Amino acid sequence: MAGLYFHIPFCSQKCNYCDFYSIVPLHRKPEFVSALAKELENRANELDGEIIDTIYFGGGTPSLLSINELKLIKDAIVHNYKLNSDLEFTFEANPENITQSYLVELLKLNINRLSIGIQSFRNEDLEFLKRTHSAQDAIRSVKLASQSGFSNISMDLIYGLPNLDILAWSENLKQAFDLPIQHLSAYHLSYESGTLLHKKLKNGAFKPLAESKSTEQFELLLKMVDNAQFEMYEISNFALAKAYSNHNMSYWKQKKYLGFGPSAHSFNLKERSWNVSNLVEYNQGVLNGKSIRQIEKLSVVDRANEMIMTNLRTKWGIDLFTFETNFGINALNRLLLNAEPFIQTKWMVKATNQLHLTQEGYLVSDFIIERLFAVD
Ligand SMILES: C[S@@+](CC[C@H](N)C(=O)[O-])C[C@H]1O[C@@H](n2cnc3c(N)ncnc32)[C@H](O)[C@@H]1O
Ligand code: SF4
């Protein structure tokens, strides 16, 4: 089981909260598509012929690629990799780019999962976040995706904004569940250093939402998700009728994936690697046969900590048998010893072969995870 991730590093405008690598000018798109095709070819042997189960086009803004550009990338994928007949193929789209003809062409390319970056249904929030779409675009895009034949639609929302009160958040969620979606990703706004929003916060231009209000919004999220019969399967991810993001599950469950494009990360169980976060260096490097990737070998402790951190964010938690097989009985005993105080406070539960967080535990997950980490 393996996945392919494509980082499409273009955006029509930079949102003020976002620190993902992307640039606004589009004139390097043709060169980027050639570089992607070359990188796909160069790395074709890295997976030893393993079948690809998931493909994910993320960004940046994949919906800024033309259908012809997408066809060129798809051809390079098909030419170099073996795809599962049951492939999950996700495409991130921004609401303002979604038209019926574009959606129909995406379906023809066998893209079968659409992830739409809605963020909020309130124009006030969209302006605060410097998004380029309106609340009306948001609703229209989801309806159009469903009418055009997508039956696996995910939506991204952001909560914890300074001016988003609990009533507004509940209305955003109500609007989300009134639309034909099968999956929701809801992220608390984070202030990433280097972003414009972070700078404004530091300058005192606004006050962040009080922590008690963030907690209240998270609790409301869990309640409304449950009422809508969505299942929380990861701290920020919710699925209707098991429509999980299988691609993202490979990040949380330690499966192999190759990442293509500037800033994309790859993982092969033993090493993590990442491409240069600069489009010009990426294009020129790949096209001139130079290395654009840095590689980090993971120690046993790194791998154990990674498993603790990613698995605990999911509803399944840590599979204790797999943990012991990978890291030995001493590491397992240390993990259980470190978890004991949190089991006592009911922030964690130890089932026969599983150690997972409870709803109360999710509220302090970073604190717990740090205390469970193995050390050298
Ligand atoms: C990097 S974007 C790429 C997708 C697409 N360009 C978009 O904006 O919808 C993926 C998602 O990450 C989330 N995101 C990015 N930065 C964030 C931040 N600082 N805080 C919370 N969510 C964030 C947004 O919900 C966004 O939809
Ligand atoms: S949130 Fe999406 S559209 Fe906005 S800058 Fe980041 S990648 Fe681009």
Task: Count up the domains in the chain and report the number.
Answer: 2
**The two structure tokens encoding residue 222:** 């869990």
279 domain-assigned: no
pLDDT at residue 254 above 90? Answer: no
How many angstroms separate the alpha carbon of residue 12 from the centre of ligand 2?
9
Alpha helix stretches (DSSP H) within 151-202: 166-178, 196-202
How many angstroms separate the alpha carbon of residue 82 from the centre of ligand 1?
30
Q: Which residue in this structure is represented by tokens 């795809």?
A: 83
How many angstroms separate the alpha carbon of residue 218 from the centre of ligand 2?
23
Residue 304: give the domain boundaries: 300-372
How many angstroms separate the alpha carbon of residue 334 from the centre of ligand 2?
41
Question: Rounded to two decimals, what is the model's pTM?
Answer: 0.97
**The two structure tokens encoding residue 284:** 């020129």
What CATH number corresponds to the domain at position 115? 3.20.20.70
Q: Is the dihedral of CA 120, 158, 258, 284 positive or negative?
A: positive
Check residue 60 and give left, alpha or beta (phi > 0: left; psi -120 to 50: alpha). Answer: left
Who contacts 63 (Cβ-Cβ below 8 Å, separation ≥6)?
A: 91, 92, 93, 94, 97, 98, 102
CB neighbour class for 269 (10 Å; exposed up to 12, middle 13-18, buried from 19): exposed
22 close to ligand 2 (CB < 6 Angstrom): yes
Q: Output the pLDDT for position 144.
A: 98
Task: Please say whether the beta carbons of 74 and 37 come within 8 A.
Answer: no
143 domain-assigned: yes
Nearest ligand by distance to the CA of 118: 1
Who contacts 123 (Cβ-Cβ below 8 Å, separation ≥6)?
A: 134, 135
- Asked if residue 235 and residue 350 are part of one domain, the reply reads no
Residue pLDDT, tens place only, 142-176: 999 999 999 999 999 999 999 999 999 999 999 99
- Ligand 2 atom nearest the C-alpha of 94 is 3
**The two structure tokens encoding residue 105:** 């062409």
pLDDT at residue 257 above 90? Answer: yes
Nearest ligand by distance to the CA of 24: 2
pLDDT at residue 1 above 90? Answer: no
How many angstroms separate the alpha carbon of residue 372 from the centre of ligand 1?
28
335 domain-assigned: yes
How many angstroms separate the alpha carbon of residue 91 from the centre of ligand 2?
14
CB neighbour class for 25 (10 Å; exposed up to 12, middle 13-18, buried from 19): exposed
pLDDT at residue 101 above 70? Answer: yes
Residue pLDDT, tens place only, 7-24: 999 999 999 999 999 999
Nearest of 364, 234, 370 to residue 305 by alpha carbon: 370
18 close to ligand 2 (CB < 6 Angstrom): yes
Which residue's alpha carbon is nearest to atom 27 within ligand 1?
Answer: 117
Q: CA 7, 236, 276 angle in degrees (round to 5)? A: 25
318 domain-assigned: yes
Cα distance between residue 184 and residue 12, in whole Å: 24
Pocket test for ligand 2, best of 17, 61, 118, 187 (most atoms within 8 A of CB): 61
How many angstroms separate the alpha carbon of residue 233 from the centre of ligand 2?
25
235 domain-assigned: yes
Instruction: Decide which of 251, 282, 313 is a domain's last residue.
Output: 251
Check residue 368 and give left, alpha or beta (phi > 0: left; psi -120 to 50: alpha). Answer: alpha
Task: Please say whether the beta carbons of 266 and 251 come within 8 A.
Answer: no
Pocket test for ligand 2, best of 18, 26, 126 (most atoms within 8 A of CB): 18
What CATH number corresponds to the domain at position 343? 1.10.10.920
Q: In the predicted model, what is the mean pLDDT of residues 290-304? A: 96
- Ligand 1 atom nearest the C-alpha of 195 is 19
309 domain-assigned: yes
Task: Please say whether the beta carbons of 269 and 18 come within 8 A.
Answer: no
Who contacts 32 (Cβ-Cβ below 8 Å, separation ≥6)?
A: 9, 261, 279, 282, 283
Phi, psi of 95 (to 5 degrees): -50, -40
- Asked if residue 131 and residue 50 are part of one domain, the reply reads yes
Partnered with residue 257 across adjacent β-strands are 3, 267
User: CA–CA distance from 85 to each of 29, 43, 82, 258, 301 (Å)?
Assistant: 30, 22, 9, 19, 36
Q: What is the mean pLDDT of the chain?
A: 97
Q: Is the dihedral of CA 316, 322, 327, 328 positive or negative?
A: positive
373 close to ligand 2 (CB < 6 Angstrom): no
Which residue's alpha carbon is nearest to atom 7 within ligand 2?
Answer: 60
Check residue 149 and give left, alpha or beta (phi > 0: left; psi -120 to 50: alpha). Answer: left
Cα distance between residue 275 and residue 93, in whole Å: 23
Total length of the chain? 376
Residue pLDDT, tens place only, 308-346: 999 999 999 999 999 999 999 999 999 999 999 999 999
Residue pLDDT, tens place only, 190-204: 999 999 999 999 999
Nearest ligand by distance to the CA of 195: 1
117 close to ligand 2 (CB < 6 Angstrom): yes
Instruction: Decide which of 251, 269, 287 is a domain's last residue.
Output: 251
Q: Which residue in this structure is represented by tokens 């997972």?
A: 356
- Ligand 1 atom nearest the C-alpha of 197 is 19
- Asked if residue 221 and residue 358 are part of one domain, the reply reads no
Q: Which residue in this structure is represented by tokens 């470190």?
A: 338
